Amino acid sequence: MSADDSAADRHPDRGFAPSAERNREPILAVLREVLPPTARVLEIASGTGQHVAHFAAALPTTHWQPSEADAAMRRSIAQWIGDPPLSNVARPLALDVHRRPWSSERFDAVVCINMIHISPWSATRALMIGASEVLQPAGMLFLYGPYRRGGAHTAPSNERFEAWLRGQNPEWGVRDLEAVQDLAADAGLTLERIVEMPANNLSVLFRKTAAANRPQ
């Protein structure tokens, strides 16, 4: 039996996303720069839990609340954050962005990686309103993923990815950054910074500058 086999035995529900393994370090580098040292962070769509386990271990003075709509993913998150046990991560929350209010807690940051292209546009709208509601004044929303800019794809690989996404579900798709920015502005979130990331992805940072003015 290999070391991998025994890990699989100990963590039968632990999922593994190769993309999360590839992008976790570049994303961590941005988070290290932009998160306050003792930030309380809500992660939306935590997926397997690889990211939250990595970020919480690397940033031990921050505190993380992972969340997921999918129950199998929540079991995976629990296993990723449980071994080795991380004292700065809460148990995963059952959270579908469409169902608000998300939480009575308030956070310094909301992090959402690779969700908005793989869910309907209504999820992006709900994400903006929900994030604005749970963020402290001047809190930060961090998004990561592929985007169209100025109405066009930024790379042929993103165009192929979009075709694949639409084939999976016609409501999914690589979003226009400007349209995302407009929804954010409606929710009182102002675009602060865009960081170009490997593989034609972007980190996009919004700052809460006002209360949401179009709750829905």
Ligand X SMILES: C[S@@+](CC[C@H](N)C(=O)[O-])C[C@H]1O[C@@H](n2cnc3c(N)ncnc32)[C@H](O)[C@@H]1O
Question: For binding to ligand X (CB under 6 A), which residues are involved?
Answer: 17, 20, 44-47, 51, 68-70, 73, 95-98, 113-115, 118-119, 123
Beta strands (DSSP E) in 83-134 are 93-94, 107-113
Distance, in Å, from the CA atom of 56 to the CA atom of 41, rounded to the nearest integer, reads 10
CB of 202 to ligand X, least distance (A): 14
**Residue with Cβ nearer ligand X (76 or 154):** 76
**Residue with Cβ nearer ligand X (1 or 81):** 81
CB of 52 to ligand X, least distance (A): 9
**Residue with Cβ nearer ligand X (98 or 190):** 98
DSSP assignments along 132-163, one per residue: HHHEEEEEEEEEEE-EEBTTB-SSHHHHHHHH
Closest residue to ligand X, Cβ-based? 47
Distance, in Å, from the CA atom of 62 to the CA atom of 40, rounded to the nearest integer, reads 6
Q: Pairing between strand 107-113 and 135-145?
A: parallel
- SS3 string, 31-69, reads HHHHCCCCCEEEEECCCCCHHHHHHHHHCCCCEEECEEC
CB of 133 to ligand X, least distance (A): 15
At residue 200, φ and ψ (nearest 5 deg) are 60, 35
CB of 176 to ligand X, least distance (A): 19
CB of 95 to ligand X, least distance (A): 6
CB of 1 to ligand X, least distance (A): 28
Distance, in Å, from the CA atom of 148 to the CA atom of 161, rounded to the nearest integer, reads 12
**Residue with Cβ nearer ligand X (80 or 206):** 80
**Residue with Cβ nearer ligand X (79 or 190):** 79
Distance, in Å, from the CA atom of 11 to the CA atom of 82, rounded to the nearest integer, reads 10
**Residue with Cβ nearer ligand X (47 or 146):** 47
Distance, in Å, from the CA atom of 159 to the CA atom of 9, rounded to the nearest integer, reads 39
